[in-house]
Structure 1
């Protein structure tokens, strides 16, 4: 599926404005992946829900998201939840019904995913510590 102008504008806004601000909010959930080309840590603010030892969220651009591509190369991630870092293993779940999954996640986090999402993908992170 080709990237639309809306996708490009949304990604530009997220990368250059929203994510830069959100990373500095102490209670913001952050996903840290390893850059598939650089090998450097890459941090992405996101929303989702912890359920037991799992953290669930939905990517609005699916396998076109840079952090999803990083996960495909190395599923070992870190998550900052409520100010504390946890190690985990991320699992891409294309067979999961992302629309149904979003009904189980916090509504305010899903506004952007519902509004701008064009290739929804459910992701589960199994928390190690």
Structure 2
């Protein structure tokens, strides 16, 4: 049964914790996100060069903190296709009204990542 998290979609940021590919230690970043159902979408402006993306490639199990709640999830790097387009559209739509920057190039050129949220950490 999918978890219900849509009420957290208004949060400004999420906190993504990956496992360091070399150290094996938790590494947490603050990052923009958008939600669709129980899937969280992120865009990496650094594409494959971002440490968090490199960590996900090695260990796709992650933790995501939204507000005061923390979830376990499975991350997936998206390739061209409908889900990739959805990720770009909904992250862009969420943040364009909040940004003084033109996010068009960022939303087009970033690497899209999906995280399927599996369950809440108690």
TM-score (norm 1): 0.67
Change (3 A) 1:87 1:109: farther
SS of residue in 2 equivalent to 1:102: helix
Listed one character per residue, the Cα deviations across residues 23-71 of structure 1 (whole Å, up to 9, x for unaligned) are: xxx9741000000000000001001112111101111111110000000
Contact 1:36 1:74 in 2 (8 A): yes
Contact 1:60 1:116 in 2 (8 A): no
Q: Which runs of 5+ in 2 are unaligned?
A: 1-10
Provide the aligned C-alpha RMSD in A: 2.9
Shift in Å, 1:89? 0.3
Indicate yes or no: 2:87 matched with 1:101: yes
SS of residue in 2 equivalent to 1:37: coil
Contact 1:61 1:119 in 2 (8 A): no
Residue number among 17, 21, 42 corresponding to 2:27 in the alignment? 42
Residue number among 55, 73, 92 corresponding to 1:70 in the alignment? 55
SS of residue in 2 equivalent to 1:72: helix
Indicate yes or no: 2:112 matched with 1:127: no
TM-score (norm 2): 0.71
- The alignment of Structure 1 onto Structure 2 pairs a total of residues equal to 104
Q: Which runs of 5+ in 1 are unaligned?
A: 1-25
